Each structure stands twice: as C-alpha cells, then as structure tokens.
Chain A
Amino acid sequence: MSMMNRLLPQPLFSVFLLLVWLLLVNTVAPGHLVLGTVLAIALPLFSSRFWPDRPRIHSPWKLLRYIAVLLWDIGLANLAVARLILGPTRKLRPAFIHLPLDLQNEFAISVLASTISLTPGTVSSDLSADRKTLLIHALDVEDEAAVIAAIKQRYEQPLREIFEPC
C-alpha cells in the first residue's frame, strides 16, 4: 500500500492527466496509452514539491455531480447575462458583495472563486489577506443576503463535502 502511495501520490490527478493526454493527441492508440500512463505517473512525482498542501478529493462522485451542476449553471448564466447585456443598462444594479468563507483549503477556495466567476452575474474580484472573505462583484443585485445564501448552499457546501469533510 505504501509503495502504491509513493508511486501514485495523487491517483485521481494521474487519471486526469492520462485523460488530458489522450484528448490532446485525440486518439486511444496503444502507444499513446502507454506514453500517457508514463506521463500520468511521472508528472505528479516530479511536481509533488509544488503541492505542499495537497488537495484531497474525498468524494469523486460528489465532484462529478458538482461539475454537472456547474455546467448546467454556466448555461443558465449565459442566458441571464445575455438578457442583462441586451436589456436597458440603466436598470442594472451592480454591487460589491462580501462573501464570508467557511472553506479553508486554498485549492477549494480557488475552485469556489472560479465557479463564482463562471456563474450567473457574479465575478470574484478579491480575496482578503486572511482568506476569510471573498469580494464578489455582481451585475444585478436585488437582495445581497439571498445571493450569499445561494452561493453558500449551491457551491460552497458541496465543495466542503468534497475537499474537507470533518
């Protein structure tokens, strides 16, 4: 088991690298499967020093579900933003929102910040120095508390379950 651990410190990361390699060469020829596998094992080994605080994915299935929800929301976000852009711009109520963070893992926070930027009418703009507050710019805000509650429930909660279950 420890041998396995040393060879494959981040098994999911390795699977991901293999997939990326196969997509990059756009074929599943045996030669590329071998080369991709070698890269998928070698790259995490060589880059492990750059990951002092290695993100652990505790629940891959929840991660898949999170990605599905995210893709769906990105589609909706596009429709919503398209409507706002084409509508009367004077009616927009842009505002800054301070989102108090419960997440502690740095990788999870950056995933959350990216998610916020990709979803309806919000762009994350600044992380406070103590990493406890994320500053978000929103295009059209009706109720600040509702936006915060929605982000917490829809994205932050699942991310906590994926990266840092207690």
Chain B
Amino acid sequence: MLETLIALFLVIGGAFALIGSIGLARLPDLFTRLHGPTKATTVGVGGILIASVLHFSSRGDGLSLHELLVTLFLFITAPISAYLIARAMLHLRGGKES
C-alpha cells in the first residue's frame, strides 16, 4: 500500500519534471522558456521529495524531514535564477521589452 503511494508520488514528480523540460524545448523564446523551469519543476521535485519522506520515514529510523529543506532552498533560489536570466536578457536588448 505504502509502496504504491510512494510510486505514485515518484510518477507525478517525474511527469512534472518532464513537462518542465518539454516546456524548455518547446516554447518559442527565452522569456516564455523561463516559465517551465520555475514552476513545473517545483512540483516535480516536490513529488519526488514527498516520496523520499514517505520511503525513509517508513524504514523505522524515525521521521525523515530534511527533504523539506530542499523544497525551501528550491523556492528561494528558483525565482532568483529566473530573475537573473530575464534581467540579463533585458540588458542585452538594451532595456526594450519586445
């Protein structure tokens, strides 16, 4: 039962990570491409981390929660890297938006 749940979260996580990567390849320009990695991957990584929490907490060594930190750091860093890339692109265009 628990293994099914873990597998389910792994599949959900993997699917969203894949969709984020497809977005990176498929969307037309730099700015739209930023949207895939900043969002689809957060649930992708999140799903895999939930699976990790469930798996390692069920082994009898007590609760395993340090995966939460990965989520925290991801939420802090993903928007910053997206902001940096977008800003670099705006500079290359001389501040024009289109």
Q: Would you call B43 and A118 a contact (CB within 8 A)?
A: no
In the complex, which residues 113-137 of chain A have their Cβ closer than 8 Å to any Cβ of chain B? 113-121, 123-126, 135, 137
Interface check A7, CB cutoff 8 A: no
| Bound-complex Cα distance A74 to B74 (A) | 13
Query: Could you tell me the dominant secondary structure of chain A's interface residues?
Result: helix
Q: Does A148 have its Cβ within 8 Å of any Cβ on chain B?
A: no
**Contact (Cβ within 8 A) B22 A94:** no
Residues of chain A with a CB closer than 8 A to B43's CB: 74-75, 78
Residue count of chain A within 8 Å CB distance of chain B:
35
29 inter-chain pairs at a CB distance below 8 angstroms, sorted by A residue, are A23-B66, A24-B66, A26-B66, A78-B16, A82-B16, A82-B40, A85-B19, A85-B22, A85-B27, A85-B36, A86-B22, A89-B32, A92-B28, A114-B80, A117-B38, A117-B78, A118-B39, A118-B75, A118-B78, A118-B79, A120-B39, A121-B35, A123-B34, A123-B38, A124-B83, A125-B31, A126-B87, A137-B32, A137-B86
B residues engaging A (CB < 8 A)? 16, 19-20, 22-23, 26-29, 31-32, 34-36, 38-40, 42-43, 62, 64-66, 68-69, 72, 75-76, 78-80, 82-83, 86-87, 90, 97-98
A residues contacting B by CB (< 8 A) are 20, 23-27, 74-75, 77-78, 81-82, 84-86, 89, 92, 94, 96, 113-121, 123-126, 135, 137, 139
